[in-house]
Amino acid sequence: MANRKGDASAALRRQLGADLEVLGQLTEPECAELLTMIEDVRSAQRQALDASLGDVLGKLPRLVRAPARKIMFG
């Protein structure tokens, strides 16, 4: 995670877009904290999505299970 002065602000701008004006009002610690929160929620949502996909594919009618797996995982 960014820890040099200005690193967190630059990293947040890279993630959210340099055109987002409100980022200019955030302090460096606030940028670092937001980066952590975004990473945490991103990771939690990815895990939840992956787990649900597995669950759903397992419960689909047998006939469509194989083609469904192929579509989702190639």
Partner 1 sequence: MSDLVTRAQLVMLAETLDVEPDQVRHLERLGADGLRSLRERISDVLFDEQAAVFARLNKLAPLVPNGVVAKLSQAIVPPLVAGRAAGALGVGNPGRAKAVLTDLSPTYLADCAPFLDQRTVAVLAPTIPAEVLVPAANELMRRHAYVTASWFLDYATPELVLGLEDGITDKAGLLRTTALVQSAERLDEIIRLLPRDRVAVIVRTAVSSPELLMAGLSVLARLSPELAADLGDVLFAELDDDGLTDVVRTVVDQDAAGELLAVAAALHPAALRRLAGNAYLTDPDTLELFLRAAAEQDDWLGLERVSEYLTGEPARLVEEQLALARPAAS
CA dist 52 and 57 (Å) reads 8
Residue 55 binds to partner 1 (criterion: CB under 8 A): yes
Tokens of 74: 């190639």
**Minimum separation from the CB atom of position 8 to partner 1 (A):** 15
Within residues 21-40, the interface with partner 1 by CB under 8 A covers 21-23, 25-26, 30, 34, 37-38, 40
Pick from 56, 42, 21, 20: which is nearest to 72 by CA?
A: 56
Pick from 44, 45, 68: which is nearest to 56 by CA?
A: 68
Residue 44 binds to partner 1 (criterion: CB under 8 A): yes
Backbone angles phi and psi of 68, in degrees to 5 = -65, -45
Residues that bind partner 1 (CB under 8 A): 15-17, 20-23, 25-26, 30, 34, 37-38, 40-42, 44-46, 48-49, 52-53, 55-56, 59-61, 64, 67-68, 71-72
